[in-house]
Amino acid sequence: MTDSTGSADSTDSTDKAVAAPAVSNTVKRLEEEGEVGADYLEELLDIADLGGDIDIDVDHGRASIAIVASEEGDEHELADLVGRDGEVLEAVQELTRLAVQARTGSRSRLMLDINGYRAARREELTKIAAEAVARVHASGETVSLAPMNPFERKVCHDVVAAAGLVSESEGAEPHRHVVVMLPEDGAEPGIDDDDDGDDAASATSADADEENQD
């Protein structure tokens, strides 16, 4: 009888060896996106005469940049870069993505946070989605949330999926919103559409690729 254990182990090792460079190259590319984006934002802060430190990270398969207050008074100034309901933040994020794309030649899905706005909003949305889940469980009826941008909808989709229910996005921007419902018999819980956390600009073409997230 031929012992196939050695062959299987060898194949396993080869697969891991092939996967490792691929992961390393992806991280390197995302780190480059972060550095290019940070350069652009640093110049923007200089032009606008705004203070703040820039932190670069890779989070959930994306380059992630955060502008945080570096000294007293910065938070108030940086609030102007967030704007009402994060509208200015969304615009700055899109400009940063375009700057990265112009330098690297590849479309960027970089996520930007300023003054901790997204982190705080994520916490708030998690509670909103959890409340919607509880209402659906209690009544069995579909619950519609308020209109949100793709980033906000993605947060809600994740909460709903984790609770074992189904969610989808309905409507057109800027009125597109999340609908939460019980899964149909035999259906898998989760997201029944494709929000990917990109901004409203990408969402206009997005029903095909929204939760690819993000």
How confident is the model over 93-151, as pLDDT tens digits? 999 999 999 999 999 999 999 999 999 999 999 999 999 999 999 999 999 999 999 98
pLDDT digit string, tens, across residues 171-203: 999 899 999 999 986 555 555 554 555 443 333
Tell me how far apart the alpha carbons of residues 63 and 104 are, in angstroms, rounded to a whole number: 13
Contact residues for 168 (Cβ-Cβ < 8 A; gap 6+): 178, 179, 181, 191, 192, 193
Are 65 and 34 spatial neighbours (Cβ–Cβ below 8 Å)? yes
User: How many CB atoms neighbour CB 50 within 10 A?
Assistant: 15
pLDDT band at 75 (very low <50, low <70, confident <90, very high): confident
